[in-house]
Amino acid sequence: MRQRLILHADLDAFFASVEQRDRPEYRARPVVVGAEPGRRGVVAACSYEARRYGVHSAMPISEAVRRLPPETVYVRPRMAVYAAVSREVLAALATISPVVEPVSIDEAYLDVSGLERLFGSPEAIGRRARDAVREAVGLSASVGIGPNRLVAKLASEHRKPDGLTVIPREGVQDFLDPMPLPVLHGVGAKTARALERMGLRTVGDVRRVAIEELRRRLGRVAGARLYERCRGIASDTVNPGTSRKSISKEITFEEDIRDLEMLRDTLRWAAREVGHVARREGLKGTVVTLKIRLEGFETHTRTHTLSVPTARDQVIFREGWALFQAGDWSERPVRLLGVGIAGWKADAGTDDQGDLFGGAESGPKPKEERIYQALDAVTAKFGKGTVGFGVPRRKG
Q: Residue 256 has what pLDDT?
A: 86
Pairing outcome for strands 334-344 and 285-294:
antiparallel
Residue 81, amino acid? V
Q: Residue 168 has what pLDDT?
A: 96
pLDDT tens-digit series, residues 169-210? 999 999 999 999 989 887 877 888 889 988 999 999 999 999
Residue 317, amino acid? F
- Residue 153 inside a domain? The answer is no
Q: Residue 330 has what pLDDT?
A: 77
Per-residue pLDDT of the chain (396 residues; tens, 9 = 90+): 568 999 999 999 999 999 999 999 999 999 999 888 988 788 889 999 999 999 998 888 999 999 999 999 999 988 888 888 998 999 999 999 999 998 888 999 999 999 999 999 999 999 999 999 999 999 999 999 999 999 999 999 999 999 999 999 999 999 999 999 989 887 877 888 889 988 999 999 999 999 999 999 888 888 999 999 999 999 999 988 654 678 899 888 877 888 888 899 999 999 998 998 888 777 889 999 999 999 877 899 999 999 999 999 999 999 999 999 999 887 889 999 999 999 987 544 444 444 444 443 433 455 555 555 555 554 544 444 444 544 444 444
CATH number at residue 376: 3.30.1490.100
Total domains in the fold of the chain = 3
Rounded CA separation 129/113 (Å):
14
- Residue 307 inside a domain? The answer is yes
Annotation marks residue 107 as catalytic: yes
Q: Residue 121 has what pLDDT?
A: 96
Residue ending a domain, among 39, 57, 79, is 79
Catalytic residue among 107, 250, 261, 273: 107
The model carries a pTM of 0.69
- Residue 43 inside a domain? The answer is yes
Q: Does residue 261 share a domain with residue 224? A: no
Pairing outcome for strands 107-111 and 141-146:
unpaired
Q: Residue 369 has what pLDDT?
A: 56
Q: Does residue 340 share a domain with residue 260? A: yes
- Residue 87 inside a domain? The answer is no
Q: Does residue 219 share a domain with residue 261? A: no
CATH number at residue 219: 1.10.150.20
- Look up the domain containing 39 and give its range: 15-79
Rounded CA separation 93/314 (Å):
32
- Residue 308 inside a domain? The answer is yes
Residue ending a domain, among 164, 198, 229, is 229
- Residue 323 inside a domain? The answer is yes
Residue 316, amino acid? I
pLDDT tens-digit series, residues 320-341? 999 999 998 878 899 999 999 9
- SS3 sequence, 40-105? CCEEEEECHHHHCCCCCCCCEHHHHHHHCCCCCEEECCCHHHHHHHHHHHHHHHCCCCCCEEEEEC
